[in-house]
């Protein structure tokens, strides 16, 4: 089978027993960076030296069929440099190919920068969306952020230290200067830091220079003040586009703050 294995995002002590056992038994490991994997094996005191196959963004399309064929006769362990494979890291193409070929896929869960940052951000965790890395170019980044301006869920982004100040400044324009956010730096490492504040405030802070691995967590848009009858009309409009009534009521409820159940029942009554 294909085994997706989460690796520590910083603190080596977060390596699970299952991960260690899998590395000790592995015969084939597909790794984002084979050098990083060799360092991980050495740091964990693992003597086993499996066959290492490089799997990264530039070769995954070509490597996936090979790995799936290997997995028909033996387990193939898939690792990213840190965290869970497939989450802004290689692995999705392999999983998709394995699923299409009927090859079993499983995972060894573990550290995740996305969930860790969300948990320590101090922002709502009940509903969230992971947006990965934003575009590098200012125009594309600004357009993508504007499209998220009314997103009601907490948003989680990855960003590079060299671009985080510019990204936070663009977020302040797209989402509003006072929109609450948190920059989570060097999670689980010695110099872990979480800086919270409004987006404009955080952009000014980042101008002084930021180092390390970063995750930016931004609060979702506040519910707009929409009268209940108008909210029901929005639900019915979404239904006319093909959305299920239950899903439409839930979406409008998230945007307006009205009860999903109330919207559903009133929309149902109007349709009767």
Pairing of strands 2-5, 105-108: parallel
pLDDT of residue 46: 97
Instruction: State which residues form the domain around 144.
Output: 113-218
Please state, in angstroms and rounded to a whole number, the distance separating the CA atoms of residues 223 and 130.
20
3-class DSSP state for residue 32? Answer: coil
**Residue 223 belongs to some domain of the structure:** no
Cα–Cα distance, 192 to 84 (Å, whole number): 20
- Whose CA is closest to 220, among 121, 127, 117, 88? 127
Asked if residue 195 and residue 166 are part of one domain, the reply reads yes
Cβ pair 210, 161 in contact under 8 A? yes
Closest CA to 143 of 134, 151, 133: 134
Instruction: Decide if 88 is inside a domain.
Output: yes
Q: Please list the pLDDT of the chain residue by residue as tens digits (272 residues).
A: 999 999 999 999 999 999 999 999 999 999 999 999 999 999 999 999 999 999 999 999 999 999 999 999 999 999 999 999 999 999 999 999 999 999 999 999 999 999 999 999 999 999 999 999 999 999 999 999 999 998 999 999 999 999 999 999 999 999 999 999 999 999 999 999 999 999 999 999 999 999 999 999 999 998 777 899 999 999 999 999 898 999 999 988 877 889 999 999 999 999 87
Do 106 and 3 contact (CB within 8 A), yes or no?
yes
CATH of the domain at 31: 3.40.1010.10
Shared domain check, 211 and 137 = yes
User: Residue 258 region, left (φ>0) first, then alpha (ψ -120 to 50), else beta?
Assistant: beta
- Paired with 218 in beta bridges are 155, 181
Among 95, 72, 101, 85, smallest CA distance to 33 is for 85
d(CA 95, CA 109): 15
Are residues 181 and 243 part of one domain? no
Mark which of 108, 143, 168 sits at the end of a domain: 108
CA angle 34, 192, 183 (to 5 degrees): 100
**Domains contained in the chain, number:** 3
Indicate if 136 and 204 belong to the same structural domain: yes
Out of 58, 78, 108, pick the residue that ends a domain.
108
With contact defined as beta carbons under 8 Å apart, do 226 and 234 qualify?
yes
Within this chain, do residues 123 and 100 fall inside the same structural domain, yes or no? no
Q: Give CA–CA dist 166/180, Å, rounded.
A: 17
The answer to whether the predicted template modeling score (pTM) of the entire model surpasses 0.85 is no
- Looking at the fold, whether 150 and 189 belong to one and the same domain comes out as yes
119 and 52 in a common domain:
no
Q: What is the pLDDT of residue 173?
A: 94
Q: Give domain status of residue 36, yes or no.
A: yes
Report the pLDDT value the prediction gives residue 253, as an integer from 0 to 100: 87
């Amino acid at each position: 089978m294909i085994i997706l294995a989460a690796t520590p995002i910083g603190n080596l002590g977060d390596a699970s027993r299952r991960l260690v056992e899998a590395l000790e038994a592995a015969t084939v490991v597909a790794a984002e960076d084979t050098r990083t994997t060799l360092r991980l094996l050495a740091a964990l005191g693992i003597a086993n030296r499996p066959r290492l196959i490089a799997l990264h963004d530039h070769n995954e399309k070509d490597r996936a069929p090979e790995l799936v064929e290997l997995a028909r006769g033996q387990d193939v362990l898939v690792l990213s440099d840190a965290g869970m494979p497939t989450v802004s890291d290689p692995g999705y193409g392999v999983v998709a190919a394995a699923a299409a070929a009927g090859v079993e896929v499983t995972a060894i869960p573990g550290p995740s920068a996305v969930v860790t940052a969300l948990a320590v951000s101090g922002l709502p965790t009940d509903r969230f969306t992971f947006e990965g890395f934003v575009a590098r170019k200012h125009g594309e980044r600004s357009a993508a952020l504007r499209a998220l301006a009314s997103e009601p869920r907490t948003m989680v982004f990855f960003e590079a230290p060299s671009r985080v100040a510019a990204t936070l400044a663009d977020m302040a324009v797209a989402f509003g200067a006072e929109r609450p956010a948190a920059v989570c730096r060097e999670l689980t490492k010695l110099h872990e830091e979480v800086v919270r504040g409004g987006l404009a405030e955080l952009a000014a802070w980042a101008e002084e220079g930021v180092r390390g691995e970063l995750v930016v967590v931004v609060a979702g848009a506040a519910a707009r003040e929409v009268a209940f009858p108008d909210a029901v009309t929005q639900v019915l409009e979404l239904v006319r586009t093909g959305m299920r009534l239950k899903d439409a009521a839930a979406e409008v409820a998230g945007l307006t703050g009205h009860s999903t159940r109330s919207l559903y029942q009133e929309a149902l009554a109007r349709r009767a």
